[in-house]
Amino acid sequence: PLRSFEKPSMPTNYNDLRDALKQGFERGACSSLTFRRAQLVALVAMLEDHKDEAVAALASDMGRPAAEAGGEVAVSIREAKDAASSLERWSAPEPKPVHLMMQPSHAAVRRSPYGACLIIGPYNYPLMLCLEPLIGAIAAGNATLLKPSELTPATAAFLEKRIPAYLTAEACRVVTGGVEVSQALLATQWDFIYFTGSPRVGRIVAKAAAEHLTPTALELGGKAPAVVLSSADVGEAARRIVNAKALNVGQTCIAPDYVLVDRSQHTALVAALTAEMRAMFGDEPHASPDLGRMCTVGHFDRMAKLLAESGGTQRRGGAPPPGR
Protein backbone atom coordinates (compact mmCIF):
# COMPACT_ATOMS: atom_id res chain seq x y z
CA PRO A 1 0.00 0.00 0.00
CA LEU A 2 1.05 3.59 -0.66
CA ARG A 3 2.28 5.52 2.33
CA SER A 4 1.22 9.12 2.84
CA PHE A 5 3.65 11.79 3.83
CA GLU A 6 2.94 15.19 5.28
CA LYS A 7 4.38 18.16 3.48
CA PRO A 8 7.31 19.55 5.50
CA SER A 9 6.20 22.52 7.53
CA MET A 10 7.57 25.94 6.66
CA PRO A 11 9.92 27.31 9.33
CA THR A 12 8.51 30.19 11.34
CA ASN A 13 11.88 31.88 11.17
CA TYR A 14 15.36 31.41 9.74
CA ASN A 15 17.37 31.79 12.91
CA ASP A 16 19.67 28.85 12.15
CA LEU A 17 20.59 30.19 8.74
CA ARG A 18 21.02 33.70 10.14
CA ASP A 19 23.23 32.32 12.91
CA ALA A 20 25.46 30.51 10.41
CA LEU A 21 25.96 33.74 8.46
CA LYS A 22 26.51 35.69 11.66
CA GLN A 23 29.11 33.25 12.96
CA GLY A 24 31.09 33.49 9.73
CA PHE A 25 30.90 37.26 9.87
CA GLU A 26 32.04 37.39 13.49
CA ARG A 27 35.00 35.14 12.65
CA GLY A 28 36.05 37.80 10.19
CA ALA A 29 35.41 35.63 7.12
CA CYS A 30 33.99 38.55 5.13
CA SER A 31 36.16 41.36 6.43
CA SER A 32 39.34 41.37 4.34
CA LEU A 33 39.42 43.33 1.11
CA THR A 34 41.01 40.31 -0.54
CA PHE A 35 37.98 38.18 0.33
CA ARG A 36 35.50 40.83 -0.79
CA ARG A 37 37.28 41.34 -4.10
CA ALA A 38 37.44 37.59 -4.72
CA GLN A 39 33.66 37.30 -4.20
CA LEU A 40 32.95 40.17 -6.57
CA VAL A 41 35.27 38.71 -9.20
CA ALA A 42 33.51 35.36 -8.78
CA LEU A 43 30.14 37.05 -9.28
CA VAL A 44 31.39 38.57 -12.53
CA ALA A 45 32.61 35.13 -13.64
CA MET A 46 29.21 33.61 -12.81
CA LEU A 47 27.40 36.11 -15.03
CA GLU A 48 29.93 35.88 -17.84
CA ASP A 49 30.00 32.07 -17.77
CA HIS A 50 26.21 31.74 -17.73
CA LYS A 51 24.99 34.84 -19.52
CA ASP A 52 22.85 32.86 -21.96
CA GLU A 53 21.22 30.98 -19.09
CA ALA A 54 20.44 34.22 -17.31
CA VAL A 55 19.00 35.78 -20.47
CA ALA A 56 16.83 32.69 -21.03
CA ALA A 57 15.55 32.90 -17.45
CA LEU A 58 14.57 36.55 -17.90
CA ALA A 59 12.86 35.70 -21.18
CA SER A 60 10.94 32.90 -19.48
CA ASP A 61 9.82 35.05 -16.55
CA MET A 62 9.23 38.39 -18.24
CA GLY A 63 9.17 37.78 -21.99
CA ARG A 64 12.18 40.09 -22.12
CA PRO A 65 13.76 40.64 -25.56
CA ALA A 66 17.34 39.39 -25.73
CA ALA A 67 18.78 42.90 -25.89
CA GLU A 68 16.90 44.01 -22.77
CA ALA A 69 17.76 40.88 -20.82
CA GLY A 70 21.38 41.06 -21.91
CA GLY A 71 21.48 44.66 -20.74
CA GLU A 72 20.32 43.61 -17.26
CA VAL A 73 23.18 41.10 -17.10
CA ALA A 74 25.68 43.64 -18.43
CA VAL A 75 24.70 46.26 -15.84
CA SER A 76 25.20 43.73 -13.04
CA ILE A 77 28.64 42.81 -14.39
CA ARG A 78 29.64 46.47 -14.61
CA GLU A 79 28.47 47.15 -11.05
CA ALA A 80 30.47 44.22 -9.66
CA LYS A 81 33.60 45.29 -11.54
CA ASP A 82 33.23 48.90 -10.38
CA ALA A 83 32.82 47.79 -6.77
CA ALA A 84 35.84 45.49 -6.94
CA SER A 85 38.02 48.32 -8.24
CA SER A 86 36.73 50.79 -5.62
CA LEU A 87 37.17 48.76 -2.42
CA GLU A 88 40.29 50.52 -1.18
CA ARG A 89 38.84 53.98 -1.72
CA TRP A 90 35.48 53.14 -0.17
CA SER A 91 36.95 51.46 2.90
CA ALA A 92 39.68 54.01 3.62
CA PRO A 93 39.19 56.17 6.74
CA GLU A 94 37.89 59.63 5.92
CA PRO A 95 39.84 62.22 7.95
CA LYS A 96 37.79 64.91 9.69
CA PRO A 97 38.87 68.20 11.26
CA VAL A 98 39.20 68.33 15.03
CA HIS A 99 38.07 71.21 17.22
CA LEU A 100 40.80 73.29 18.75
CA MET A 101 39.73 72.18 22.24
CA MET A 102 40.50 68.57 21.25
CA GLN A 103 44.02 69.22 19.97
CA PRO A 104 46.31 67.44 19.63
CA SER A 105 44.20 64.58 18.27
CA HIS A 106 42.98 63.01 15.04
CA ALA A 107 39.47 62.11 13.89
CA ALA A 108 38.20 60.02 11.01
CA VAL A 109 35.04 58.32 9.78
CA ARG A 110 35.51 54.56 9.52
CA ARG A 111 32.82 52.59 7.70
CA SER A 112 32.00 49.21 9.21
CA PRO A 113 29.75 46.39 7.92
CA TYR A 114 26.44 45.65 9.66
CA GLY A 115 26.74 41.85 9.82
CA ALA A 116 24.08 39.38 8.64
CA CYS A 117 21.92 41.12 6.05
CA LEU A 118 18.66 40.16 4.33
CA ILE A 119 17.96 41.20 0.73
CA ILE A 120 14.44 40.72 -0.67
CA GLY A 121 14.38 41.22 -4.43
CA PRO A 122 11.55 42.44 -6.68
CA TYR A 123 9.98 40.93 -9.79
CA ASN A 124 10.50 43.73 -12.31
CA TYR A 125 14.29 43.42 -12.65
CA PRO A 126 14.68 40.09 -10.88
CA LEU A 127 18.38 39.64 -11.64
CA MET A 128 19.81 43.15 -11.46
CA LEU A 129 17.84 44.28 -8.40
CA CYS A 130 18.93 41.19 -6.48
CA LEU A 131 22.57 41.43 -7.48
CA GLU A 132 23.13 45.17 -7.12
CA PRO A 133 22.34 45.28 -3.39
CA LEU A 134 24.24 42.01 -3.00
CA ILE A 135 27.28 43.61 -4.63
CA GLY A 136 27.06 46.50 -2.18
CA ALA A 137 26.68 44.14 0.78
CA ILE A 138 29.72 42.09 -0.26
CA ALA A 139 31.80 45.19 -0.94
CA ALA A 140 31.00 46.47 2.55
CA GLY A 141 32.01 43.17 4.17
CA ASN A 142 28.59 41.80 5.12
CA ALA A 143 27.21 38.27 5.06
CA THR A 144 23.97 38.09 3.10
CA LEU A 145 20.85 36.02 2.69
CA LEU A 146 19.23 36.68 -0.69
CA LYS A 147 15.52 36.06 -1.33
CA PRO A 148 14.55 36.50 -5.02
CA SER A 149 10.97 37.18 -6.04
CA GLU A 150 8.63 34.20 -6.24
CA LEU A 151 6.94 35.85 -9.24
CA THR A 152 10.02 35.19 -11.40
CA PRO A 153 10.75 31.51 -10.70
CA ALA A 154 13.20 30.92 -13.55
CA THR A 155 15.47 33.77 -12.45
CA ALA A 156 15.13 32.72 -8.81
CA ALA A 157 16.16 29.18 -9.78
CA PHE A 158 19.15 30.56 -11.71
CA LEU A 159 20.35 32.50 -8.68
CA GLU A 160 19.70 29.59 -6.32
CA LYS A 161 21.70 27.25 -8.56
CA ARG A 162 24.60 29.43 -9.63
CA ILE A 163 25.43 31.64 -6.62
CA PRO A 164 26.47 28.73 -4.34
CA ALA A 165 28.74 27.44 -7.12
CA TYR A 166 30.67 30.72 -7.28
CA LEU A 167 30.33 32.52 -3.93
CA THR A 168 31.26 31.11 -0.55
CA ALA A 169 28.55 30.27 1.99
CA GLU A 170 30.07 32.89 4.31
CA ALA A 171 29.37 35.63 1.75
CA CYS A 172 25.91 34.71 0.47
CA ARG A 173 23.17 32.14 0.70
CA VAL A 174 19.98 32.01 -1.36
CA VAL A 175 16.48 31.08 -0.22
CA THR A 176 13.54 30.79 -2.63
CA GLY A 177 9.82 30.47 -2.04
CA GLY A 178 6.60 32.41 -1.75
CA VAL A 179 5.04 34.84 0.66
CA GLU A 180 5.30 32.41 3.56
CA VAL A 181 9.10 32.32 3.16
CA SER A 182 9.26 36.11 3.16
CA GLN A 183 7.14 36.21 6.30
CA ALA A 184 9.43 33.74 8.06
CA LEU A 185 12.50 35.71 6.97
CA LEU A 186 10.98 38.92 8.33
CA ALA A 187 10.23 37.15 11.63
CA THR A 188 13.99 36.60 11.96
CA GLN A 189 16.20 39.29 13.47
CA TRP A 190 18.74 40.63 10.97
CA ASP A 191 21.40 43.28 11.23
CA PHE A 192 20.14 45.04 8.09
CA ILE A 193 17.28 44.54 5.63
CA TYR A 194 17.27 45.75 2.02
CA PHE A 195 13.91 45.59 0.26
CA THR A 196 12.91 46.64 -3.24
CA GLY A 197 9.22 46.64 -4.11
CA SER A 198 5.90 48.34 -3.57
CA PRO A 199 5.04 50.83 -0.81
CA ARG A 200 2.38 48.38 0.44
CA VAL A 201 4.89 45.60 1.07
CA GLY A 202 7.48 48.15 2.17
CA ARG A 203 5.24 49.03 5.11
CA ILE A 204 5.10 45.35 6.09
CA VAL A 205 8.90 45.11 5.92
CA ALA A 206 9.34 48.32 7.93
CA LYS A 207 6.91 47.12 10.60
CA ALA A 208 8.70 43.77 10.94
CA ALA A 209 12.11 45.48 11.09
CA ALA A 210 10.85 47.86 13.76
CA GLU A 211 10.18 44.91 16.09
CA HIS A 212 13.96 44.45 16.36
CA LEU A 213 15.01 48.04 15.61
CA THR A 214 16.66 46.67 12.47
CA PRO A 215 17.95 49.34 10.06
CA THR A 216 16.48 49.11 6.57
CA ALA A 217 16.84 50.42 3.06
CA LEU A 218 13.46 50.51 1.30
CA GLU A 219 13.57 51.16 -2.44
CA LEU A 220 9.90 51.71 -3.22
CA GLY A 221 7.92 52.74 -6.27
CA GLY A 222 6.80 56.29 -6.94
CA LYS A 223 5.56 58.59 -9.66
CA ALA A 224 7.68 59.84 -12.55
CA PRO A 225 5.90 62.37 -14.78
CA ALA A 226 7.31 63.51 -18.11
CA VAL A 227 7.02 67.25 -18.78
CA VAL A 228 6.82 68.58 -22.35
CA LEU A 229 7.14 72.37 -22.60
CA SER A 230 6.10 74.67 -25.44
CA SER A 231 9.72 74.88 -26.61
CA ALA A 232 10.23 71.11 -26.78
CA ASP A 233 11.09 69.14 -29.91
CA VAL A 234 7.90 67.06 -30.03
CA GLY A 235 9.38 64.26 -32.13
CA GLU A 236 12.36 63.85 -29.81
CA ALA A 237 10.11 64.03 -26.75
CA ALA A 238 7.87 61.28 -28.16
CA ARG A 239 10.85 59.02 -28.90
CA ARG A 240 12.22 59.44 -25.39
CA ILE A 241 8.85 58.90 -23.69
CA VAL A 242 8.00 55.78 -25.69
CA ASN A 243 11.49 54.36 -25.23
CA ALA A 244 11.40 54.92 -21.48
CA LYS A 245 7.86 53.57 -21.09
CA ALA A 246 8.34 50.55 -23.35
CA LEU A 247 11.47 49.37 -21.55
CA ASN A 248 10.35 46.30 -19.62
CA VAL A 249 6.78 47.34 -20.68
CA GLY A 250 6.73 50.05 -18.06
CA GLN A 251 7.68 47.79 -15.15
CA THR A 252 10.40 50.21 -14.10
CA CYS A 253 10.26 52.45 -11.03
CA ILE A 254 11.32 55.52 -13.03
CA ALA A 255 9.19 54.82 -16.11
CA PRO A 256 7.03 57.85 -16.98
CA ASP A 257 3.60 57.36 -15.42
CA TYR A 258 1.93 60.32 -17.08
CA VAL A 259 2.76 63.32 -19.25
CA LEU A 260 2.28 66.99 -18.46
CA VAL A 261 2.26 68.85 -21.77
CA ASP A 262 1.83 72.48 -22.74
CA ARG A 263 -1.57 72.94 -24.40
CA SER A 264 0.10 74.25 -27.54
CA GLN A 265 1.93 70.94 -27.97
CA HIS A 266 -0.86 68.53 -26.97
CA THR A 267 -2.22 67.58 -30.40
CA ALA A 268 1.23 67.28 -31.97
CA LEU A 269 2.54 65.19 -29.08
CA VAL A 270 -0.35 62.72 -29.19
CA ALA A 271 0.22 62.27 -32.93
CA ALA A 272 3.98 61.86 -32.43
CA LEU A 273 3.52 59.30 -29.64
CA THR A 274 1.10 57.32 -31.81
CA ALA A 275 3.50 57.32 -34.75
CA GLU A 276 6.47 56.42 -32.57
CA MET A 277 4.68 53.43 -31.02
CA ARG A 278 3.69 52.18 -34.48
CA ALA A 279 7.24 52.61 -35.78
CA MET A 280 8.72 50.69 -32.85
CA PHE A 281 6.22 47.88 -32.39
CA GLY A 282 3.99 47.75 -35.47
CA ASP A 283 0.21 47.54 -35.62
CA GLU A 284 0.06 44.56 -33.24
CA PRO A 285 2.39 45.39 -30.34
CA HIS A 286 1.66 42.10 -28.56
CA ALA A 287 3.24 40.27 -31.50
CA SER A 288 6.40 42.37 -31.52
CA PRO A 289 9.61 40.54 -30.53
CA ASP A 290 10.96 43.85 -29.25
CA LEU A 291 8.33 44.33 -26.54
CA GLY A 292 8.42 42.43 -23.26
CA ARG A 293 5.46 41.15 -21.27
CA MET A 294 3.78 41.86 -17.95
CA CYS A 295 5.13 39.61 -15.23
CA THR A 296 1.84 37.90 -14.34
CA VAL A 297 -1.75 37.70 -15.55
CA GLY A 298 -2.73 39.59 -12.40
CA HIS A 299 -0.46 42.50 -13.31
CA PHE A 300 -1.87 42.53 -16.85
CA ASP A 301 -5.47 42.51 -15.63
CA ARG A 302 -4.75 45.34 -13.22
CA MET A 303 -3.38 47.50 -16.04
CA ALA A 304 -6.32 46.64 -18.29
CA LYS A 305 -8.73 47.63 -15.53
CA LEU A 306 -6.98 50.94 -14.97
CA LEU A 307 -7.21 51.73 -18.69
CA ALA A 308 -10.87 50.71 -18.87
CA GLU A 309 -11.76 52.94 -15.92
CA SER A 310 -9.60 55.90 -16.90
CA GLY A 311 -12.26 57.68 -18.93
CA GLY A 312 -9.66 58.48 -21.57
CA THR A 313 -9.48 57.70 -25.29
CA GLN A 314 -7.21 54.88 -26.39
CA ARG A 315 -5.07 56.04 -29.30
CA ARG A 316 -2.76 53.06 -29.65
CA GLY A 317 -2.87 49.49 -28.43
CA GLY A 318 -4.71 46.39 -29.49
CA ALA A 319 -6.53 43.29 -28.33
CA PRO A 320 -4.76 41.25 -25.65
CA PRO A 321 -2.90 38.21 -27.01
CA PRO A 322 -4.10 34.67 -26.23
CA GLY A 323 -3.43 33.94 -22.58
CA ARG A 324 -2.52 37.64 -22.14
CA 128 from centroid of its chain's CA atoms: 5
User: Is the distance from CB of 148 to CB of 126 less than 8 angstroms?
Assistant: yes
pLDDT of residue 7: 43
Neighbouring C-beta atoms of residue 243, cutoff 10 Å: 11
CA distance 284 to 128: 29
Residue 117, beta-bridge partner list: 144, 192
Coil, strand, or helix at residue 76?
helix
Residues in the chain, pLDDT under 70: 1-12, 317-324
Residue 30: active-site member: no
Which is the catalytic residue, given 68, 253, 276, 309? 253
pLDDT one-digit tens code per residue, 4-44: 334 445 566 789 999 999 999 999 999 999 999 999 999 99
Residue 211: active-site member: no
Which is the catalytic residue, given 6, 170, 219, 309? 219
pLDDT of residue 230: 95
